[in-house]
Amino acid sequence: MTSTPTQGPLAVVLVNSGRRPRHLVTATLTGAVIAAQSRVNGGLSETLGNTAQAAFLCFLIAFVTLSVVVAASPRARSGFRAVRDGVRAGTLHPACLVAGLGGAGYVAGQTFSVPHIGVALFTVSAVAGQIVFSLIADRLGLGSVGRRNLTRRRFFAAGLSVVAMAWAVSDRLGEVGFAQVAIAAGFGAGAGIAIQMPLNGRVAVSARSNLLSGWMNASVATVALCALMLFGSVGSAEPLSWDWQPWYLYLGGFISATNVLLVTYAITKVGVLAFSVCQVLGLVVGAAAADALSPITGTGITWSMVGGCVVLFMAVSLLVTDRAS
């Protein structure tokens, strides 16, 4: 089916995907789930008074949850042998096995940033970093599809994403405190995810199981965040607190595990392009809704934030309609 000139980029992707609406809804839902996870993890971090500990607990819960699911899946269990054989044969680089460090960095970034700048600003910063470093990852050929050319449209889209981030946070750049650091942490978190995704793809292809790839991510991230938590607690002003907090603050781990399963389901039904644009749509809308319905002190929805989100979606649309993407 071909598109008419009046169809927008999103319509082209959805029509050409040839999939049922429930798959597209699931892809969009994964973005909204990430926004919800950001708010929960930020709340746990603020309550505990320790960013690293909050991130560790999130991934520990996700790891335990996914371990149960993997144990119940024969296909996922058989993937361990396939991954081992791939490393031995040289078809899978050992660095791919520690791709979970990107996820650890993302959770650490969101638990630190959200209490200071809110979900929406963190999301815009992270997506901008993800887009820019996705171009770098494609150019370096980190993914299983090999190298991709840096076309003018892709370069322009990356530039637009940076403009979008700057516009969205323009009314807060002059603030004192941790605002600038939190924004940079969000950008870095997105960059880590951009590097993580192609490496995860290589693991999933080798293991023939997205579920096992997600479990490996959670296991590596849990170990990394545990080390960060213990190292940071030495002589730190943020002591570890193991007192039981309100139950809903621990939902971030279950949300993370659930999102892995949703992504595993949707990415095989919709395709990468449709999945990406739907996820970003759900991410931006979900983050803005979170800050609008339950704003953190000093945060909220502003016109500059709305404008930044619009420009960001334009950048994503350019990537979607570029054949090199």
Interval 264-286: pLDDT, tens: 676 656 545 456 667 777 777 77
Q: Give CA separation, 110 vs 43, 49, 55, 190, in Å.
A: 10, 14, 9, 10
Residue 293: pLDDT band with limits 50, 70, 90:
confident
Hey, CA dihedral for 16, 18, 20, 26, is it positive or negative? negative
As a whole number, mean pLDDT of residues 60-73 equals 92
As a whole number, mean pLDDT of residues 207-214 equals 85
As a whole number, mean pLDDT of residues 187-214 equals 83
How large is the angle between the packed helices 210-233 and 74-89, nearest 10 degrees?
80
Residue 306: pLDDT band with limits 50, 70, 90:
confident
pLDDT computed for residue 18 by the predictor: 45
As a whole number, mean pLDDT of residues 19-42 equals 78
In terms of Cβ atoms closer than 10 Å to its own Cβ (0-12, 13-18, 19+), residue 162 is middle
**Identity of the highest mean pLDDT range in 38-47, 153-162, 288-297:** 38-47
As a whole number, mean pLDDT of residues 194-207 equals 80
pLDDT computed for residue 71 by the predictor: 92
What is the percentage of the chain residues whose pLDDT exceeds 70? Answer: 77
Q: Is the pLDDT of residue 132 over 70?
A: yes
Helices (H) and strands (E) in the chain, counts: 11, 0
Q: Is the pLDDT of residue 16 over 60?
A: no
Q: Which phi and psi angles does 74 have, rounded to 5°?
A: -60, -40
Residue 131 or 100, more confident: 100
Residue 29: pLDDT band with limits 50, 70, 90:
confident
- For 216-244, the pLDDT digits (tens) are 988 998 998 898 888 777 666 666 778 78
Closest CA to 119 of 293, 312, 260, 276: 293
Residue 11: pLDDT band with limits 50, 70, 90:
very low
Q: Give CA separation, 215 vs 35, 121, 141, 299, in Å.
A: 21, 29, 24, 34
Residue 55: pLDDT band with limits 50, 70, 90:
confident
What is the percentage of the chain residues whose pLDDT exceeds 90? Answer: 7
Cα–Cα distance between 290 and 294 in angstroms, integer?
6
As a whole number, mean pLDDT of residues 195-216 equals 83
Q: Is the pLDDT of residue 137 over 90?
A: no
Residue 54 or 325, more confident: 54
pLDDT computed for residue 13 by the predictor: 40
CB-based contact 128:184 (threshold 8 Å): no
Reported pTM: 0.72
Residue 194: pLDDT band with limits 50, 70, 90:
confident
CB-based contact 206:82 (threshold 8 Å): yes
Lowest mean pLDDT among 72-76, 163-167, 288-292, 293-297: 293-297
- For 110-130, the pLDDT digits (tens) are 777 877 777 667 877 887 887
Torsion of CA 232, 233, 239, 244, to 10 degrees: 90
